[in-house]
Amino acid sequence: MNDIISLQQKIVPELIELLQKRYTIMRNIYFSQPIGRRALSYQLNLGERVIRTEVSFLKSQGLININPLGMTVTKEGEDLIDELKEFIHELKGLNNMEKTLAKCLKLKKVIVIPGDVDSDPLIRKDMGKSAANYLKSIIKHDSIIALTGGSTVMEVANEMPQSYTTSEIMVVPARGGLGRDVEKQANTIASVLAKKLGGSYKMLHVPDNIGKEAIKTLLHEPDIKDVVDILKKADVVLFGIGRADVMADRRNLSQAIKDYLKKVGATSEALGYYLNKNGETVYETPSIFLTKEDLKRIKNLIAVSGGKSKAEAILSTCNSGTVDVLITDEGAAFEMLKSC
């Protein structure tokens, strides 16, 4: 396939560009359906005339439907999107990028999704789908999956294929909630993922920014102790990675702590740990239930995070040794390669 792609790029590069454009249009329709032409034009920053021409072609090929509610992708179109995904991946040389990053970061596996979530938020759904497929390939019928909150981890649960059989899989939150954006909290995501996998879940009713003394008291509560005990037996941890400054604001840390994080060079936040660029822990939030020793024991530590703006944070977390598998996007990957 590499030889064919190389020949196409040299002889008919315009066909490659057209292919990528039509793939992008179909993918965006699929994730936003039903969607109108004007909204799609705005989403992709393409002229309405261009959109009109392309969707007319796609409709004539039986790949999309157009009705008063908007455009939708047909079953044939969905199948084609899946088939094209591998081709686009190869076309952009992402296979080599994945191998290079995995070697550079000393990870078991790296999966790179075309695009940059900073410029196209729908890339987050692609990352979620790839992470869901990978997760499904490694879990066992009795796996215990721990996960954090966040928009990217939420997409992993949303994109997980529905199982119509029951299992003994248990899904538990790895930490408390932020107090807002309930749908992005670990408790909510755990319930969604468990239902998709035909398993069960436990909820951890602990505010994320609670103090250490309060945490000690709560750990004596039977319901909370039960969840924490299960959490420490997890064989899979799924988590997002954030920039330290952004997460400090989002988690309402005090100004004194924010100033301290800046002073010590905090770069990233993951699983409640704030890390510097070398992956060293510079601050821990009180509501941490998975210690560094716990993380060393867990077989599958899966990080899902993308966007050029998060590249430094992702590198920082990978340097900490708490990542086995990374699912990211092209924007972050290109930036990280500069440090390899």
Task: Output the DSSP codes for 280-307.
Answer: -EEEE-S---S-HHHHHH-SEEEEE---
DSSP helix, strand, coil percent of the chain (3-state; round to 5): 55, 15, 30
Whether 178 has a pLDDT exceeding 60, the answer reads: no
Whether 210 has a pLDDT exceeding 90, the answer reads: no
Centroid of chain to Cα 53: 33
Lowest mean pLDDT among 72-76, 102-106, 168-172, 225-229: 225-229
pLDDT in the model for residue 155: 96
Whether 106 has a pLDDT exceeding 80, the answer reads: yes
Q: What are the C-alpha distances in Å from 130 to residues 36, 138, 272?
A: 27, 13, 24
Please report, rounded to a whole number, the percentage of residues in the chain having pLDDT higher than 90: 64
- 8 Å CB contact between 115 and 330: yes
Whether 4 has a pLDDT exceeding 70, the answer reads: no
Average pLDDT over residues 2-17: 62
Lowest mean pLDDT among 150-159, 289-298, 322-331: 289-298
Q: What are the C-alpha distances in Å from 201 to residues 167, 179, 188, 214?
A: 12, 20, 10, 24
Lowest mean pLDDT among 144-148, 153-157, 228-232: 228-232
Lowest mean pLDDT among 10-14, 258-262, 271-275, 288-292: 10-14
Q: What is the pLDDT of residues 284-307, one digit of tens each?
A: 987 778 888 999 999 999 999 999
pLDDT in the model for residue 90: 80
pLDDT in the model for residue 1: 54
Locate 252 and state its tokens: 């309402």
Sequence-distant (6+) residues with CB within 8 A of 148 are 173, 174, 175, 186, 238, 239, 240, 270, 271
pLDDT in the model for residue 135: 96
Lowest mean pLDDT among 181-195, 303-317, 324-338: 181-195
Whether 254 has a pLDDT exceeding 80, the answer reads: yes
- Tell me the pLDDT band of 10, cut-offs 50, 70 and 90: low
Lowest mean pLDDT among 26-35, 166-175, 205-214, 308-317: 205-214
pLDDT in the model for residue 177: 60
Lowest mean pLDDT among 63-67, 220-224, 234-238, 324-328: 220-224
pLDDT in the model for residue 165: 87
Query: In the predicted model, what is the mean pLDDT of the chain?
Result: 89
| Higher-confidence position of 225 and 207 | 225
pLDDT in the model for residue 164: 82
Whether 238 has a pLDDT exceeding 80, the answer reads: yes
pLDDT in the model for residue 9: 59
Which residues partner with 299 through β-bridges?
none
pLDDT in the model for residue 179: 53
Whether 36 has a pLDDT exceeding 80, the answer reads: yes
The domains located in the chain, with CATH, are 2-90 (1.10.10.10), 93-337 (3.40.50.1360)
Whether 176 has a pLDDT exceeding 70, the answer reads: no
The CA radius of gyration of the chain, in Å to the nearest whole number, is: 21
- Write down how long the chain is: 340
pTM score, two decimals? 0.86
- 8 Å CB contact between 167 and 197: yes
Centroid of chain to Cα 169: 21
- Tell me the pLDDT band of 6, cut-offs 50, 70 and 90: low
Average pLDDT over residues 70-99: 89
Please, how many CA atoms are within 13 Å of residue 28, restricted to the half-sphere of its CB? 24
Which residues partner with 147 through β-bridges?
173, 238
Determine the Cα–Cα distance for residues 62 and 168; give it in Å rounded to an integer: 41
Question: Using CA atoms in the order 148, 149, 155, 156, what is the torsion angle rounded to 10 degrees?
Answer: 10
